[in-house]
C-alpha cells in the first residue's frame, strides 16, 4: 500500500529518506513527502516537503533544499482516503507544526475521531484518515511521545504502521504497527550505536544494514541513535533479537535492465534453483519450517488454498499438482471471498496461504479464519518476517529475493516450485507417492532452471510477436487442465501492465459464449504444449481459425502441425505436463512485458496498482 521510511543518525537525511522512498515506490506512487527535524541554528523545526505524482516530483522539489538535521520520516502513498493531492499526501503535521507523522493502513473509525477532535477546535486540512492521529497525539501529549502514542493507540480502529517525530523530543523517532508491516534497521559496524532506521520493508535500508527487528502487532518502539526500546501491547518493555537479512542489495537495483519486471523475469532460473536448494535431499523433500506432527500430516483429509491475484493462480496450479499426486481434494479460494463464504473447514484440513508479500490483508484474514476453525495452516511466502509467515503453523519460504515489479513474475514461479516441494513432502509423509514417483518428479524439477534459461534465450523472438496485439482492445487466453491456470496468469500479466483487456478460459469453454468476441481487435493466445488434452486444445484453436481469428500459440518444440493453424507460434522445450506451467508461464510474462513496452507504458508501476494490498 504505502511505503514508510525513517532515520535517526548523522548521514545525509535527504539521501537516506529519498533513496529509501525510491526503493519503496513500488508500494504506492500517487504522491510522496518527507518531514525532517531541521536543526539549523540549533532551533528545532519540522520542515515538510510534499509532491503529488511519482516520486521524482518530490525529488525535484527537494533537490536544491538545504536539509540539515539528524531525524526524519518519509512516505510514498497509495491513496485510500482522499484523492492523490499535495494536501492529502503524508507526512501530516499538527496545527502548530510540532508533531509530524506518516501512516500506512486505514483508520476505520476516523470519521468519529475527526468529529470529536473538530469539536475540540482542531482544524483538518486533508481528507485523509491519517490526520486524526496527529491531532490525537497533540491533544494527548504528555511530554513523552512514545508514552502518548501508547495512550492513543487503543482509540484507533483499523490497521497502521506509523512513525512520528516531535520538535519537543528531537532525539527520538517513535513508531507503532498493527496489521501493516514495519521493520527497525539497526546501525551496523562502525555505525552501531550511531544510527537506526525504520522502513515498511528491508529493501529501503538494505544498503545500510542487514540487521533488523521485525515488530509485532500492537508494539510501540522508541528509536534513538544508540537505543531501541520496544513496548508490547501491555506496555511492558521487551527485548527482540535482531534477524540477519540475506537479501543482497543487488535485488533492490535494476542491474542494467530497463525495468525491474524484466530483471525479475530473467532471475527465474536462479530463483527456481534457490527455491529447490536445501529442500531436496535424495528422493525426499525436506521442509524444516513445517511445525506439524507426523500424525497431523497423516490426518490431512482436505486442502484449501487461499490467495489473491497471481498467488491465486499459483493456487489453481497447485490444485492440479496436489490432486493428481496425492488424490486429496483441494479447494482454491480467492482470499477476499474465502471468509465471507462461510467456508467449511474442519480440524483435519490443511489451509495453504500463498502470498509473495505475506501481508495481503485478505489472505491474512483467511489465515486467521482457518486458525479459528482449528485447521492446520502453512504459508508459501516470499518476505521473511511478514505477518502470514509469523502466524501460520509453518512457512515454506520461496527464495525469490525482493520482488519490486508490481506485476509478480519470479515470485509466481517460486510459488509453483514450493507447491511441488510441498506435494512431495506430503506424499512421503502420507505414503501416497512412491519413492520411484518422487525420484521422477525431482528429476523433472531439476531440469527446470536449465529450461527456463533456454526460454529466456528466445526473448527477442517472443518480443517480435507482440504485433499480434497491434490495435487489440481485448484478448482471450486459453489452456486446459493445469495450463488453464497459466492462461489465467498470462491474461493477468497482459492486462496489468499493457492495459489490454484479457480473459482466460479452459479452452473447451470458448464455444459456450466467448468465441463471439474473437475479431481483429481480440486475438487468441493459446497454450497447446504436449499434454493429455493436446488434441482437444488443437480443435479449439481450429474453431477460432475457422472464424478468422488472430492466433498466437505456445507449443512444444518440434510441433510443426500447430504452425498450420496458428498464425504465430512460440516454441518451448518439452517436459511432462505436470511441470509445464513453469515452462509455459515465462513466455507469457515476456509477451506481456514487450506488449507493454511497445505501448510505452511504465511496466514496473502500472496505473492504479500497488505491490502489496494491505487493506481490504
The answer to whether the beta carbons of residues 322 and 345 sit under 8 Å apart is no
611 is catalytic: yes
Residue 608 to residues 78, 84, 180, 406: CA-CA distances in angstroms? 8, 11, 20, 11
Which residue number, 38 or 261, has a Cβ lying nearer to ligand M6R?
A: 261
Burial readout 112-131 (b: 16 or more C-beta within 10 A, e: otherwise): ebbeebeeeebeeebebbbb
Q: Which residues are bridge partners to 161 per DSSP?
A: 104, 177
Q: Shortest Cβ contact with ligand M6R: which residue?
A: 309
Strand, coil or helix: what is 484?
Answer: helix
Q: Phi first, then psi: what are they for 241, rounded to 5°?
A: -75, 140
Which residue number, 176 or 308, has a Cβ lying nearer to ligand M6R?
A: 308
Tell me how far, at minimum, the Cβ of 307 lies from ligand M6R, in Å: 6
Cα separation of 501 and 74, whole Å? 35
Which residue number, 310 or 475, has a Cβ lying nearer to ligand M6R?
A: 310
Output the nine-digit C-alpha cell for 548. Answer: 478468422
Cα separation of 332 and 186, whole Å? 40
Q: Which of 14, 23, 465, 611 is labelled catalytic?
A: 611
Q: What is the 3-state secondary structure (H, E, C) of 53-80?
A: CCHHHHHHHHCCCCCCEEEEEEEEECCC
The answer to whether the beta carbons of residues 225 and 193 sit under 8 Å apart is yes
Which residue number, 209 or 395, has a Cβ lying nearer to ligand M6R?
A: 395
Tell me how far, at minimum, the Cβ of 179 lies from ligand M6R, in Å: 14
Which residue number, 69 or 315, has a Cβ lying nearer to ligand M6R?
A: 315
The answer to whether the beta carbons of residues 225 and 9 sit under 8 Å apart is yes
Instruction: Let me know if 216 is exposed, middle or buried by CB neighbors in 10 A (0-12, 13-18, 19+).
Output: middle
Tell me how far, at minimum, the Cβ of 259 lies from ligand M6R, in Å: 14
Cα separation of 424 and 431, whole Å? 10
Which residue number, 363 or 533, has a Cβ lying nearer to ligand M6R?
A: 363
Which residue number, 274 or 496, has a Cβ lying nearer to ligand M6R?
A: 496
Cα separation of 407 and 500, whole Å? 14
Cα separation of 380 and 194, whole Å? 37
Tell me how far, at minimum, the Cβ of 317 lies from ligand M6R, in Å: 13
Tell me how far, at minimum, the Cβ of 253 lies from ligand M6R, in Å: 21
Which residue number, 531 or 612, has a Cβ lying nearer to ligand M6R?
A: 612
Cis omega (within 30 of 0) for bond into 607: no
Output the nine-digit C-alpha cell for 449. Answer: 532452471
Cα separation of 414 and 269, whole Å? 10
Q: What is the 3-state secondary structure (H, E, C) of 495-524?
A: HHHHCCEEEEEEHHHHHHCHHHHCECCECE
Q: Which residues bind ligand M6R (CB under 6 A)?
A: 308-311, 355-357, 360, 363, 406-408, 492, 496, 612-613
Cα separation of 42 and 5, whole Å? 24
488 is catalytic: no
The answer to whether the beta carbons of residues 199 and 20 sit under 8 Å apart is yes
Tell me how far, at minimum, the Cβ of 463 lies from ligand M6R, in Å: 20
Tell me how far, at minimum, the Cβ of 313 lies from ligand M6R, in Å: 8
Which residue number, 317 or 408, has a Cβ lying nearer to ligand M6R?
A: 408
The answer to whether the beta carbons of residues 480 and 580 sit under 8 Å apart is no
Which residue number, 128 or 408, has a Cβ lying nearer to ligand M6R?
A: 408
Tell me how far, at minimum, the Cβ of 324 lies from ligand M6R, in Å: 24
The answer to whether the beta carbons of residues 225 and 194 sit under 8 Å apart is yes
Close Cβ partners of 326 (under 8 Å, ≥ 6 residues apart): 423, 426, 427, 430, 432, 433
Tell me how far, at minimum, the Cβ of 354 lies from ligand M6R, in Å: 7
Strand, coil or helix: what is 478?
Answer: strand
Tell me how far, at minimum, the Cβ of 357 lies from ligand M6R, in Å: 3
Cα 73–78–84 angle (5° rounding)? 95
Close Cβ partners of 10 (under 8 Å, ≥ 6 residues apart): 70, 194, 195, 225
Which residues are marked as active site? 2, 611
Amino acid at each position: 500500500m504505502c511505503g514508510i521510511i525513517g532515520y535517526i543518525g548523522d548521514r545525509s537525511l535527504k539521501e537516506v529518506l529519498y533513496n529509501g522512498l525510491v526503493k519503496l515506490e513500488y508500494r504506492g506512487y500517487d504522491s510522496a513527502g518527507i518531514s525532517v527535524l531541521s536543526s539549523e541554528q540549533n532551533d528545532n523545526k519540522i520542515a515538510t516537503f510534499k509532491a503529488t505524482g511519482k516520486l521524482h516530483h518530490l525529488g525535484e522539489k527537494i533537490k536544491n533544499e538545504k536539509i540539515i538535521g539528524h531525524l526524519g520520516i518519509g512516505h510514498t502513498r497509495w491513496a485510500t482516503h482522499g484523492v492523490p493531492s499535495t494536501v492529502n499526501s503524508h507526512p501530516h503535521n499538527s496545527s502548530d507544526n510540532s508533531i509530524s507523522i506518516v501512516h500506512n493502513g486505514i483508520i476505520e473509525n476516523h470519521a468519529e475521531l475527526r468529529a470529536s477532535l473538530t469539536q475540540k477546535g482542531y482544524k483538518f486540512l486533508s481528507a485523509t484518515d491519517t490526520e486524526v492521529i496527529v491531532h490525537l497525539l497533540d491533544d494527548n501529549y504528555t511530554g513523552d511521545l512514545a508514552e502518548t502514542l501508547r495512550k492513543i493507540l487503543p482509540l484507533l480502529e483499523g490497521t497502521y504502521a506509523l512513525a512520528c517525530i516531535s520538535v519537543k523530543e528531537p532525539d527520538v523517532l517513535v513508531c507503532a504497527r498493527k496489521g501493516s508491516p514495519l521493520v527497525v534497521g539497526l546501525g551496523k559496524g562502525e555505525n552501531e550505536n550511531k544510527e537506526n532506521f525504520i522502513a515498511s520493508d528491508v529493501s529501503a535500508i538494505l544498503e545500510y544494514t542487514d540487521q533488523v527487528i521485525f515488530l509485532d502487532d500492537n508494539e510501540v518502539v522508541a528509536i534513538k541513535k544508540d537505543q531501541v526500546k520496544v513496548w508490547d501491547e501491555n506496555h511492558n518493555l521487551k527485548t527482540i533479537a535482531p534477524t540477519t537479512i540475506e537479501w543482497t542489495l543487488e535485488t533492490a537495483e535494476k542491474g542494467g535492465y530497463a525495468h525491474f519486471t524484466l530483471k525479475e523475469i530473467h532471475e527465474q532460473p536462479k530463483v527456481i534453483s534457490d527455491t529447490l536448494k536445501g529442500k531436496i535431499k535424495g528422493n525426499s523433500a525436506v521442509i524444516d519450517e513445517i511445525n506439524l506432527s507426523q500424525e497431523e500430516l497423516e490426518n490431512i483429509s482436505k486442502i484449501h488454498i487461499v490467495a489473491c491475484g497471481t498467488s491465486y493462480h499459483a493456487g489453481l496450479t497447485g490444485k492440479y499438482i496436489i490432486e493428481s499426486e496425492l488424490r486429496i481434494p483441494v479447494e482454491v479460494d480467492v482470499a477476499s471471498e474465502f471468509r465471507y463464504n462461510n467456508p467449511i473447514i474442519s480440524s483435519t484440513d490443511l489451509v495453504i496461504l500463498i502470498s509473495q508479500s505475506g501481508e495481503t490483508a485478505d489472505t491474512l484474514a483467511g489465515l486467521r479464519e482457518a486458525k479459528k476453525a482449528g485447521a492446520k495452516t502453512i504459508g508459501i511466502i516470499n518476505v521473511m518476517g511478514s505477518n502470514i509467515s509469523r502466524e501460520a503453523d509453518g512457512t515454506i519460504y520461496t527464495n525469490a529475493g525482493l520482488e519490486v515489479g508490481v506485476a509478480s513474475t519470479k515470485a509466481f514461479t517460486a510459488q509453483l516450485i514450493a507447491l511441488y516441494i510441498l506435494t512431495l513432502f506430503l506424499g512421503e509423509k502420507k505414503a501416497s507417492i512412491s519413492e520411484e514417483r518422487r525420484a521422477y518428479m525431482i528429476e523433472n524439477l531439476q531440469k527446470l532452471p536449465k529450461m527456463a534459461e533456454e526460454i529466456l534465450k528466445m526473448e527477442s523472438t517472443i518480443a517480435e510477436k507482440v504485433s499480434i496485439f497491434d490495435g487489440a482492445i481485448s484478448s482471450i487466453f486459453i489452456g486446459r487442465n493445469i495450463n488453464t491456470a497459466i492462461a489465467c496468469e498470462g491474461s493477468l500479466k497482459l492486462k496489468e501492465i499493457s492495459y489490454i483487456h484479457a480473459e482466460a478460459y479452459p479452452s473447451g469453454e470458448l464455444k459456450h459464449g466467448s468465441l463471439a468476441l474473437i475479431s481483429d481487435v481480440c486475438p487468441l493466445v493459446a497454450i497447446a504444449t504436449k499434454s493429455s488434452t493436446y488434441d482437444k486444445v488443437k480443435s479449439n484453436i481450429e474453431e477460432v481459425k475457422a472464424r478468422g481469428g488472430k492466433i498466437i500459440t505456445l507449443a512444444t518444440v518440434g510441433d510443426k502441425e500447430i504452425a498450420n493453424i496458428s498464425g504465430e507460434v512460440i516454441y518451448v522445450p518439452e517436459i511432462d505436463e505436470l511441470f509445464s506451467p513453469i515452462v509455459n508461464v515465462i513466455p507469457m510474462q515476456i509477451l506481456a512485458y514487450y506488449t507493454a513496452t511497445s505501448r510505452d507504458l511504465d511496466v514496473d508501476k502500472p496505473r492504479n496498482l500497488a505491490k502489496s494490498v494491505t487493506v481490504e
